[in-house]
Structure formats: C-alpha cells, structure tokens
Structure 1
C-alpha cells in the first residue's frame, strides 16, 4: 500500500490544504515530495500565514489536492468582536489576495458567493457579496462618473441546487459566458479537522472550489477547466465533523492528565498510542450509529459569520479597488 492509499483510506473531513499537509505528516520539518510550505507569523496580532504550494503531480497525489497555491491565514481573533484585530486581519487578507490576484483598472472580476443564505454556517458567501463594492454597471452606464480607482466588479449569489434545481456551476457558467470576466472569485464555507480552526481560518487558493464542501454536500467543481478563466477560491471553515470534536476533547483530556503527572487510565493510554487516522475512525465508528453524519458549529455562529464576512468583503474591496481607501469604499456603500 502506498502513502496515498494508507493516509487517505480514512475519511477525515477537511477542506484545508494546511490540514491535508498535517495528515501526511504531523512533523512540520519533514518535507513532503512535491509540496513546499512557508510560514510567517505576526506575534503582536496573533496572525499566522501558511503558504502551501503543491507544485507537481506527486505532491497533488499525496495531498489529494490540485496543483496550485493555498494560503491559510489563522487567528483566534477572527471570531472575536475585536475591531482592531479585524483591521489587521483585513489588511493581511488583502495583502495575501494580491499575491495571487493581479487586477488593474481594465480588469473585469466576477465574485460568486456560494452557499445557502438560509443556513447560517453556509451563508458566508452570500453575506460577503452583500457588502461588496459592485461597479460593473457604473462602468457600463456611468463611465464619466467614476475614475480609474474603481475596477469593474460584478457579483452573484446563485443559491444552492435544492433552491434552484440547477447545478451551481451551470449558473456560474451562464453568467461567465455573458459577462466575460477576466477572473472569477468564489467564496464558500469549508470544513476543518481541527475545532480550533473553525471560524478562525481563511484559505485562499488559485485552484477553484467545489460548492457545498463545508456542509458535506460536494457539487461539481468551479475552476479554470470548467469556466475557461482563472478562479480564486476563498474559504472559511465554519463547521467541524462531530467525531473531530470528540477526538479533540479526548486529546485535551489526555494532555491534562499527563500535565498533572497522573497515571493515565488504560483506555487513555491505548488511545494515545493510536495515530490520528485510527483515533478518528474509532470515534467515527462509535458515533455514526447514534448521530449519523453530524457536523457541528459554534452557538454564536450567526454573529461570527457577520464578523468574518465583513473581514473578507473589506479585504476584497481594498484589493479590487486599489485606488480607494476604506473611507472611500464606505461612502460608496452607504
């Protein structure tokens, strides 16, 4: 059995390339063939940026991710009601977006907010679209009223197939054919394998997106192959598998017992000797008959989604309209 089959025969639920890298090897110093990882930290604001580049077919097979770049921004302050921290996160996110996206005054960009507006953990995409500075109509109908600081941006929140009866990718394909953008940016909810990363992580990737990923209902992919134009994906894990919650809880309990120099019960000792995949599958097998495919989200997810969507929409506005400051954008949106 090769490394790919060994590591991926277990259905640990994650959409983050950073976590896929951790699943291959928990040792961050061990190089994965075909994968390059760089990390930078802002200790003052507790922001960690990890860039995972999957640069060949071997790396893509091991990681089970398409070749491309995956930038992950992590901060526990993301889900807190801290305006100053959010300002730093907005600037950090805008800076990382600029590393993957090159736009100018002549660029035409379509932003797609994926997800179900009626399901709070899945409403991230539509909420981001609500706060975007959309300007395509101004470029088309009032060209003399705007200056070169404002790019041509259009936006779409297509809903989900259960609401429309149409695959999301088909709706986006139709709009792309009509609008003819130079770039498509998709925002979607994701799932994480670490409870600490739920609502505290932003992933930016140049590999496209699969709608429904965050709620375990993957649909047809939206990427350059299906649309014919580059696709940037922005995702935030808003849910976590119930088995992951149980696994993390036991891990914390084991660590607490050891920290107190207490003798670990036999069960905890045996559990500690399992690898991550074996731990997850043990818990999954125990839970599934009782709770099914259960995903968990924090109780204050409605307020948190509002805050995080504001971080993403503001970062996009700053990145897409480089000639405008925050105050200028707020006047446009008023």
Structure 2
C-alpha cells in the first residue's frame, strides 16, 4: 500500500485564497525567485492559520523546479544547493550530532520508492565514528539511515520501527523522505517540500498511519517530500479546465459552458470525485518516465541532505 500523502502547504494556501480572495490569517508567506526555480516559504504561526489551511503550526518550504523533468546535471546541482540551504536553516545541528535519515515508502512501487532510493544514496557515517573513528576526517557528523518499508510488507507500523530505533540510537534529529500526492499535474516530479512539522505517512490516499513528529519521537523531525502522483479526479479536472480555456481562446464556447467556468478548482475536483466514487475509480497516475525521474530526484535530495549535514561536503 502506498505511503503517499497530500501535504503541499503551498497548495492548501492556494485553495484558501481561491475560495476567500484573501491571504490566509495566521500565515506568513515569502516568495523568492531563484533563477529557473521558485522558493515559497509558508510559516503557519498560530492555530488560526493551522485551522485555515489544515496544517500544523510550523515552517513549510516549497521549491518549484519545472526543469527537474529534463534531468540536466547543472540544473539539478542548483536545486540540490537550494535544498541544502533550506535544510540547514531548519536543522541547526550541533557539531557532534547524530541524524537518522528515514526513507518512507514501498521500494517495490516506482512512484512510492523515493524514500528508499534516497536512503540508498545518503552517506552514512555512524559506523565509522563507532568502529574506526581515525578514518573519518573533519567536517563530518554521525548519520545513520533506514528504509523501514510499509505496513503491508513488514506487518509493523512504521512509527513503531522508527520509535524503537530512536530510543536505541538516540539521534538528535530525524530527516524523513516520502512521496506525495499533488493536486496539480504541473507539480508532479517538479516540486520539493521541506517542513519541520513531521510527517503522516499514507494520509494522501486516506490511509492514515501514526505520525512521525516531535510529539511522537521527542526530537525534531524534518520531512522532505516530492509529489510523484496525482489522482484521476485531478487529471479530469485539469483536462476540463484546459478545454474551457481552449474554448475561451477560440470563441467557440457553448452558451452553457459558463457554469463550469464559474466553478472553483476545488468545486470541479469535488464534483468529479463524486462521479468516480460509485465506480471505485480510486486511481492514481504517474508519468511514464517515473523510473528515470526517481533516480535523478533521489540523487538531488541525497546530495542536499549530505551537504546540509556534513560541512566537508558543502562546496562539492
């Protein structure tokens, strides 16, 4: 079963603005253009903001990078550096810290394999510090990593596995990587979100699992997610909107099309979901290039994590 979830704060903020016509109360937003990428920092600073967009109080940083689908090395390096900078600001690790990197998801399903792929590429060092400390140079911290699988494979709640490791290893922070489900086609495999509020595996598909956050583990939990799928209702809604836009441009719109045009994105989405539910059409869609994209994006994220944790790798 997927551990994919819908958790883009930037999308929740957009839905609120579309419905109300104003900025979200209790939320501060900063937008930065970084060349061919855009960084949006959303800070939910009180319970009013939390209730308004359905997200816990905390920081949500979204890196929108359309060029990720082209898999250009120079572009990918730039996005990795943006990720490093944002992670450093959230982590603030002491010099002698230990970080546990957790790759959530099902390694047998391409669209859900992001977390395990990142874990396989992160530089782990805890064993070197423990057994051969003379072989580790300056500028490195202790890192350990785990891809615990999903409940359907292990029969154990992921949160229980991670809690047991945290109790035994006693890391200073957890970085959890997971696949997300987006509400916009354009954000699939082109967006990276970082948050300090932790993670709820499976919530994007209604499969709620126990959370991984400060309250559950007693240490900071930084979550990194990339939307890798959209559901069928999103695809249908976007197709309808493209049809409406095309009719507007051509001047061939029928007289009754205005009804659809006046509906908000959320209203269109809800209507399509109602149509699909009786047919049990709970489908998710992912691009055909998913294998290549998972490989390249996991490399970007692993490099960003390595550079954020290990000062020795910051300029590589």
TM-score (norm 2): 0.94
Offset at residue 291 of structure 1 (A): 4.9
Match of 1:19 in 2: 11
Q: How does 1:233-312 map to 2 (within 5 A)?
A: 233-260=223-250, 262-312=251-301
Cα distance between partner residues in 1 of 2:182 and 2:21: 22
- Number of residue pairs the alignment of both structures matches: 312
Residues 79 and 308 in structure 1, CA contact (< 8 A), matched pair in contact too: no
Match of 1:37 in 2: 29
Larger RCO (CA within 8 A; separation ≥ 6): 2
Match of 1:7 in 2: none
CA distance 1:79–1:104, shift in 2 (3 Å): farther
Cα distance between partner residues in 1 of 2:27 and 2:255: 38
Offset at residue 38 of structure 1 (A): 0.6
Match of 2:134 in 1: 144
> Segments of 4+ in structure 1 off by > 4 A?
none
Cα deviation, 1:71-107, whole Å, max 9, x if unaligned, reads 0000111122211110111111111111111124301
Cα distance between partner residues in 1 of 2:174 and 2:202: 18
Offset at residue 216 of structure 1 (A): 4.3
Residues 19 and 264 in structure 2, CA contact (< 8 A), matched pair in contact too: no
Cα distance between partner residues in 2 of 1:99 and 1:227: 21
Are residue 183 (structure 1) and residue 183 (structure 2) matched? Answer: no
CA-based RMSD: 1.7
Residues 99 and 175 in structure 2, CA contact (< 8 A), matched pair in contact too: yes
Are residue 52 (structure 1) and residue 42 (structure 2) matched? Answer: yes
Cα distance between partner residues in 2 of 1:132 and 1:29: 43
Cα distance between partner residues in 1 of 2:59 and 2:266: 25
Offset at residue 241 of structure 1 (A): 1.3
TM-score (norm 1): 0.89
Offset at residue 28 of structure 1 (A): 11
Residues 214 and 238 in structure 1, CA contact (< 8 A), matched pair in contact too: no
Mind listing any 5+ residue stretches in structure 2 that lack a counterpart? none
